[in-house]
Amino acid sequence: MHAASSHHWSGKLMLNEPMSRHTSWRVGGQADQLYIPSDLQDLQEFLQQVGDKQPIYFVGLGSNLLVRDGGLRATVVSMHNVLTDMHMEGDLVYVESGVTCGKLAKFCAKQSKQGAEFFAGIPGTLGGALAMNAGCYGRETWDAVDSVVTINRHGELNKRPASTFVASYRHISMPLPGEWFVGAWLKFEVGDAQLATQKIKDLLASRLATQPLNLPSAGSTFRNPAGDYAARLIEACGLKGYLIGGAQVSEKHANFIVNIGGASALDIELLIKHMHDTVLEKFGIALQQEVKVIGDYV
């Protein structure tokens, strides 16, 4: 199935698009079609014409996503460099879902808001952060949410208060399936711009020192189990540097898998399984995957 030919949208539609171009691991087979909307209204018009036959996936920076080598029989909506408006509305910060978390942190600091600094440590867009309740340094995305705007597969927008969602560790329950976040109103306390800016610099320096940012990765592979760290458990199993094909457990941070060159999605998926099974065997702890895996095997 392809989108109706009598189209009225102004974005960019690509057929048989390699998902390796749209994920931070730089792996993944082709999506049947991938759409880059020009703005929110254009996205609404596109979704109205896609119909109900195919699954739809929204992808931001693709930084928490493994697309299998066989690709996706689906329509992918890429939010990279799309929906990037961010402004103050009274005391709240309105942010569209395509804004990167790093830019959000810096904007809030400039507005003398405190409590948004942790967003500098999240390697994705706000849309992705909302969808998985991303967090770091003891704070989570939904701590800051006042309300959100969602879009459904028919292009209809809904404003929903944060209270209609149940947020838990790295998870958010959607009241209705088939809805995606397109924006949010976030609430932060008034703070000191200079202090907030310095905190962001410190967080970024700490990330650089502890994470393998020079190689394609997808951030944390597993969630931290209660009272422990996935990285500690994986490292204690002697898995740092362990290789399957072009996929390696990072020498710098054991909860990161890096593509050292030429990795396939299967290499990465097999490595995820090996890390999980090794930790389970040694410690009796079943690590929960943080990375989302979608698509078909070859």
Q: Which residues are catalytic?
A: 170, 220, 290
Sign of CA dihedral 30, 31, 32, 34: negative
- 211: its two tokens: 């994470």
Strands (E), the chain: 12-18, 30-36, 56-59, 65-67, 72-78, 86-89, 92-96, 113-114, 135-136, 139-140, 145-152, 157-161, 166-168, 171-173, 179-187, 189-190, 243-244, 247-249, 257-259, 292-294
217 vs 206: CA distance, rounded Å: 17
- 228: its two tokens: 């422990």
186 vs 218: CA distance, rounded Å: 25
3-state class of 188 per DSSP?
coil
Q: Which amino acid is at 176?
A: L
- CB atoms < 10 A from the CB of 200, how many? 21
Which residues, other chains included, contact 266 with Cβ-Cβ below 8 Å and sequence gap of 6+? 68, 69, 245, 297, 298
Q: Is 5 exposed, middle or buried (0-12, 13-18, 19+ CB in 10 A)?
A: exposed
